[in-house]
Amino acid sequence: MAAPVNIIVGSHVWVEDPALAWVDGEVFKISGEEVHVHTTNGKTAVANISKVFPKDTEAPPGGVDDMTKLSYLHEPGVLHNLAMRYELNEIYTYTGNILIAINPFQRLPHLYDTHMMEQYKGAGFGELSPHVFAVADVAYKAMMNEGKSNSILVSGESGAGKTETTKMLMRYLAYLGGRSGVEGRTVEQQVLESNPVLEAFGNAKTVRNNNSSRFGKFVEIQFDKNGRISGAAVRTYLLERSRVCQISNPERNYHCFYLLCAAPPEVREKFKLGDPKSFHYLNQSSCYALDGVDDAQEYLTTIRAMDIVGISEEEQEAIFCVVAAILQLGNIEFAKGADVDSSVIKDEKSRFHLNMTAELLKCDIKSLENALIKRVMVTPEEIITRTLDPVAAVGSRDALSKTIYSRLFDWLVDKINFSIGQDPNSKQLIGVLDIYGFESFKLNSFEQFCINFTNEKLQQHFNQHVFKMEQEEYTKEEINWSYIEFVDNQDVLDLIEKKPGGIIALLDEACMFPKSTHETFAQKLFQTFKNNKRFIKPKLSRTSFTISHYAGEVTYLADLFLDKNKDYVVAEHQDLLTASKCSFVASLFPPAEESSKSSKFSSIGSRFKLQLQSLMETLNSTEPHYIRCVKPNNVLKPAIFENANIIQQLRCGGVLEAIRISCAGYPTRRTFYEFLHRFGVLAPEILAGNHDDKVACQMILDKMGLKGYQIGKTKVFLRAGQMAELDARRAEVLGNAARTIQRQIRTYIAWKEFIALRKAAIMLQSHWRGILACKLYEQLRRGAAALKIQKNFRRHIARESYLTVRQSATTLQTGLRAMTARNEFRFRKQTKAAIIIQAAFRCHVAYSYYKSLQKAALTTQCGWRRRVARRELRKLKMAARETGALKEAKDKLEKRVEELTWRLQLEKRLRTDLEEEKAQEIAKLRDALHAVEIQVEEANARVITEQEAARKAIEEAPPVIKETPVIVEDTEKVNSLAAEVENLKASLLSETKAAEEARNACTDAETRNAELVKKLEESERKVDQLQESVQRLEEKLANSESEIQVLRQQSLAMSPTGKSLTARQRAMILPRTPENGNVLNGETKDTTLALSNVREPESEEKPQKYLNEKQQENQDLLIKCISQNLGFSGSKPIAACVVYKCLLHWRSFEVERTTVFDRIIQTIASAIEVQDNNDVLAYWLSNSSTLLLLLQHTLKASGAASLTPQRRRATSASLFGRMSQGLRASPQSAGLSFLSGRGLGRLDDLRQVEAKYPALLFKQQLTAFLEKIYGMIRDNLKKEISPLLGLCIQVPRTSRASLVKGRSQSNAVAQQALIAHWQSIVKSLDHYLKIMKSNHVPPFLVRKVFTQIFSFINVQLFNSLLLRRECCSFSNGEYVKAGLAELEQWCSEATEEYAGSAWDELKHIRQAVGFLVIHQKPKKSLNEITKELCPVLSIQQLYRISTMYWDDKYGTHSVSSDVIAKMRVMMTEDSNNAVSSSFLLDDDSSIPFTVDDISKSLQQVDITDIDPPSLIRENSGFGFLLPRSE
């Protein structure tokens, strides 16, 4: 921070202020080395020019997120930048790669939620706003990439938020790493759960903090080779042991002592504890309780934490026994004994405490007393036991207390580590160091000396790291830095720790001499270090000394140094506690290796130095990262920024030291673009020339005559003070330009005044001439008006006379015409009434006669029809009694009679409506029935002929056998088959006769059925299909035996009992006519008996095997077919339609077990294995959605009684039964399909199939694949545009040509380059839309894809905008707005059919960008912003944008401070009301539709005109796919 060299009158500067540390102002006078400044707080300050620093007037109002970007890197600049950011709740700021965290003293949950973690995961350091997550992410990536352990050093004074920062670091590392192979609590949870235990035993109240950690904690988070958390450990360093025995006012001892004194009464009684004021170790200070802290409640919290950590109740009791014993031990006092230099227990009270201590530690009372007041000295000749004087006995007592407490603390740490679980095989870790910061109080003792020694060590480590980072920056930019000096504090460390002449060594030496006092120790220090520049002797004190630390001078009182440093390891103490009957106490003191009884000297200072050395070795083995925590005020309240306090902390934290290191080199660094943008005005001719940016920068610097600067690869490096010099030159140039502008403006104003005066004179003349003209005009107007009045008055008199005469004539005419009209109306009214009366009477007479005739006719008809029906019923009952021997036939006939009776009753109910059309219907029905009989007889004849041909084929079987898979082995089987054919012919004749009889019996009832014509036509169509099926089967099956057996097996599968092949099933290949719609049951039984003897097991198994093989071949062919890209027929996917038709024809939906569904799913899965092939994904998305739509309209879950034998029997009981059931009854022949040709139409015509479990499972799997394919297409598009979105959120920096006006061509090229990234996104959207259109993906799914993609774009752009301050600028808003216009144009071109509401998904980024580019923001009220400009954005989001906004184009300001204050109040209310305060948006990656949505949204699919693929078109097994003619 070199002194400025070009401060002039009018410069804006910083000067020192006793209250505010630094205050800004404007120089109004310079007198030699003195500068006179008008400050902004209304005062006048005078300072030496070397103590004045320039202020950057062009610094952004919200500060910069990295203070290395400051134009002036000095102490007031750093402080002002932190203050501006803290005012906007930006608590994190970088200084290079060091993070400064200012404690906000309030909840900021939006900074630490999962959304924020997702944003920082994988983001580059410095890419997003400063955050503790960014530091953790860098450490994690460095560990994973380089395989080296990393450490994060969290420092700061008490209350600065170190512990909270450590928690956030562990939370983020747990989020990144997870936990490998372990369920339940995370490592972060386990470490945090141990905090209450460590805080109870390691924290205490200090002058500045109520809960200050008095030890260093290094949390090792261990990772396996995959980067997952595999374990953790807590290492503790430098516990302040002396605090156990000595505390100063107003501090407290460790919390655990006070918690135990506030325990429940039974616990206090057990340990004989009382008020803390009664214990010597606690009453050295007047502070016993903390504000807002209930020690009794904290005791219970500590107990719970011990339970969670895994400390058993026995161990807890032993721990508190030890704590109580230390308190009791401190109350033991000593008095002089009878002998010289001897001591005894002072009184009974001390004796009581001695007994209590022995009881709690479970050791011998006498042994304890001897260990306190006696020492055993081992000489070569003998062992001597000597007594200690009271002072030495007190030292012995305190040494025992410190040793016990230290061992207890170490045991707790080991227990916690065992609970968390360490990974001994871990090769890499991230350590988080939370250690006390630099301390400087009014009275500083040995504790502050040790703490500041630790911080000096850490500061040296920090300085080396900062200098290393500077070196890396200079090396990266390839500049010469060899002459830069390194700021080091090794001289202070030598003063403290060097052997043999350091302060710690001299202190240990003084402690070893019994006669040494604090005065002799201080005099030794004064003599030894009188020439050391870091050591200062105070003038007014004989026992104080001052050390000049890196953070400032600290004066230490040497009065208690000797007492606090003594830490004898007394053998008697070791033996006493090793022999304790309490296993816990004995475990704290395992037997020592040395058997000597002598006391071994040890000091806390030496032990502290060794532990510090161990810590530094650990840190040196890791890659360090630094977080400096700052406490903004001492009242611990939000929104208070105390400058002096923070400056002191920045000094103590080494931040200003890091700035000094930067200032020793090149504190100001600017990229070529930034340098030219700011200082291009110094040499406009260079900008206008065609020079490279680097060359242009060099030329400007040379023109200004600067020396010592460096030009790197991408940046200009300026020495301290050179930035101020350039700014002064720039201010001079701008001042001259301003004066030129002022001169021109004044000329313009004078000219405007002259023009205004001339215009005023002309206006006066014009007005006067106008007045004269008005007077002349008034005279002429009055004369014309008089003439008009006379003319109009005369016309009025004449008109009044004429109107009076005309009105009289009109009145006479009206009266005469009205009288004539009334007479005519009266005559017509009378005539009409007479006609109405006559008509009504004649209607009544005719209607009465008609009703009587109608009633008589109905009575006659009903009687006659009832008589005929009873006669028919008697005939049917007689026929039923004649066939009583056959029970099954009887049951069926009774059912038929009941059915006929029901239909008769139905006809009676319908007779009234059909009476008038009775004669015509009977005639038509007879004609139709006669025609049907003729057709059925012809069909019977054709079938019999076909059976004869089949018999001949059997006789000619030997040559045919060679061509078919069925082999006839011997003649006997051929004969049996021939006999079976003869039996079938006989069965055909018998069934024909039975059908004729049944038809005759039912003719009278059926003739009155209104639906007979339609159902008979359906029967005729089925007979035609039967004939065609038989013909096709005959052509494609060379062996008639296989044909007949296949039909038998399928008929058997459909039989009610499933046990015997009845004649009715065997005859299913016969033509079904209205006469023989069902064969008589008697004949059926006879035929069954006749055929049961000729049936053989061998003849059934082989056809069944052939059937399975044939079905398997068909399935293989289908799978092979759909594995190819079959394309589309119109807009319908061929593969989906073919699969659906095949599954429906094969009845696959109704079987309990099949493999075809799994094979189809496997085919789809194998097709979409290549996730990047969007064409294939879109093809299968179209097919799967269409197939799912067909299944949704076809399948229904089967009920409990569906497809039972009774249902099937009832379905096929009669022709009328089949017709009444409609299409629910499936065809019972393999060659018969209702799906052929005209049988299948639109979705409305599809029949419902009661699906079994495999079909329903197939539907679920298909739904899952549809969602998976949809997600893959969506994610592929996201992956493609994600890199582009990162480029679209921030306007690319244009070349230097854009800085020079008048280059329209280069500006046009630059504009084209600016929009290129957005056009790339539009191209990606077009590409995907084209793919989905070409594959006929349903528009509903296309809309969903683009809606989610635009939502993703909205989330990514909006979150990046809120996290990166450089994006919240005016020019960046214009850039993003132009890009959004490209997207809007795309939505318009894509039409609403495919884009849907995608544009509405960008509402957040659209409103945010609209806010950035709107003018006159300070004039906008909060209501206008929230209701009109940005109604969608939350208060947190608006506050974030408002505070981060900066105008890089016009230099305007953001919204007013009043609006900001109102926003802050509303945010506080929201946080109090537990409203989510996260300002980031969340990307929704769920599937945004259901199967029902698809079913409702997709159009109906007509699959009747789908041509099968060539691969299966010629195959006879897929003949049903061919279109049929009507």
> Residue type at 1141?
K
**Cβ atoms of 1436 and 1459 closer than 8 Å:** no
CA 1376, distance to chain mean position in Å, is 24
162 in a known ligand binding site: yes
| Residue closest to 1320 by CA, chosen among 1345, 1356, 1285, 1269 | 1285
501 in a known ligand binding site: no
Q: Any idea which residues carry the catalytic annotation? A: 158-159, 163, 209, 212-213, 437, 439
**Cβ atoms of 599 and 510 closer than 8 Å:** no
State the DSSP code for 254: B
| Residue closest to 1182 by CA, chosen among 1122, 1136, 1138, 1140 | 1136
158 in a known ligand binding site: yes
Please confirm whether the linkage preceding 265 is cis (ω < 30° from 0).
no
> Residue type at 1201?
A
Q: Concatenated DSSP letters for 910-937?
A: HHHHHGGGHHHHHHHHHHHHHHHHHHHH
| Residue closest to 1404 by CA, chosen among 1449, 1366, 1440, 1370 | 1440
Q: How far is CA 1111 from CA 276, 902, 1053, 1146, in A?
A: 93, 43, 16, 9
The angle that helices 446-477 and 490-497 make with each other, rounded to 10 degrees, is 150
921 in a known ligand binding site: no
User: Cβ–Cβ contacts within 10 Å for residue 1344, how many?
Assistant: 21
> Residue type at 447?
E
477 in a known ligand binding site: no
> Residue type at 104?
P
| Residue closest to 1013 by CA, chosen among 942, 913, 923 | 923
Question: How far, in Å, CA of 1012 to CA of 884, rounded?
Answer: 31
| Residue closest to 321 by CA, chosen among 356, 275, 360 | 360
Count how many residues are written for the chain: 1526
The dihedrals phi and psi of 788, each to the nearest 5 degrees, come to -65, -40
The dihedrals phi and psi of 353, each to the nearest 5 degrees, come to -65, -35
CA angle 796, 800, 802 (to 5 degrees): 120
The dihedrals phi and psi of 1096, each to the nearest 5 degrees, come to -125, 145
Mark out the alpha helices in 331-443 (DSSP H runs). 348-361, 365-373, 390-420
Question: How far, in Å, CA of 550 to CA of 1342, rounded?
Answer: 65
Convert 950-980 to b/e letters by CB count within 10 Å (16 or more is b).
bbebbeebeebbeeeebebeeeeebeebeeb
**Cβ atoms of 727 and 71 closer than 8 Å:** yes
CA angle 492, 493, 496 (to 5 degrees): 90
**Cβ atoms of 648 and 433 closer than 8 Å:** no
Tokens of 361: 């530690």
Q: Scanning the structure block, which residue is given the tokens 């920024």?
A: 641
Handedness of CA 921, 925, 926, 928 (dihedral sign): positive
163 in a known ligand binding site: yes
156 in a known ligand binding site: yes
H, E, C per residue of 1287-1322: HHCCCCCCCHHHHCCCCHHHHHHHHHHHCHHHHHHH
All residues at 6 or more sequence positions from 871 whose CB lies less than 8 Å from its CB, including other chains: none
Question: How far, in Å, CA of 771 to CA of 777, rounded?
Answer: 10
Question: How far, in Å, CA of 392 to CA of 334, rounded?
Answer: 10
Q: Concatenated DSSP letters for 783-805?
A: HHHHHHHHHHHHHHHHHHHHHHH
**Cβ atoms of 169 and 135 closer than 8 Å:** yes
* Binding site feature residues for ATP: 156-163
Residue ranges for the known binding site are 156-163
